[in-house]
Amino acid sequence: MENIRIVAGREAYVPPGGPPRVERPSDAIYAAMGEEAIVAMMEAFYAELAQSPTLRRMFPQTPEALVRAAHRSAAFFIGIMGGPPLYQQMYGNPAMRARHMPFPIDEAARREWLRCFNVVLAIAPARFNFPPEHMPGFQAFLDGFSGWMVNTAPPNPEEAA
**Contact residues: ligand HEM, CB under 6 A:** 55, 58-60, 69, 72-73, 76, 91, 96, 99-100, 103, 105, 109-110, 113, 142, 145-146, 149
Nearer to ligand HEM by Cβ, of 28 and 56: the residue is 56
Cα–Cα separations (whole angstroms), residue 113 to 35, 53, 73, 109: 22, 11, 13, 6
For the bound state, the minimum distance from the C-beta of residue 120 to ligand HEM, rounded and expressed in Å, comes to: 13
> Within 13 Å, how many C-alpha atoms sit on residue 58's CB side?
18
Q: 10 Å Cβ neighbour count for 75?
A: 23
CB neighbourhood size of 25 (10 A):
22
Q: Which CB atom, from 103 or from 159, has the smaller least distance to ligand HEM?
A: 103
Please, which residue, 59 or 154, has the CB nearer to ligand HEM?
59
Least separation in angstroms between residue 9's CB and ligand HEM is 18
**Least distance in angstroms from the C-beta of 28 to ligand HEM:** 19
- Cβ–Cβ < 8 Å for 113, 49: yes
**Residue 128 Cβ vs ligand HEM, minimum distance, rounded to whole Å:** 17
Q: Please say which residue, 32 or 109, places its beta carbon nearer to ligand HEM.
A: 109
Q: How far is the CB of 140 from ligand HEM (least distance, A)?
A: 11
Write down the number of H helices and E strands in the chain.
6, 2
Instruction: For ligand HEM, give the closer residue by CB, 31 or 91.
Output: 91
Whole-angstrom distance, CA of residue 125 vs CA of residue 113: 20
Cα-based distances in Å from 135 to 3, 29, 120: 32, 9, 12
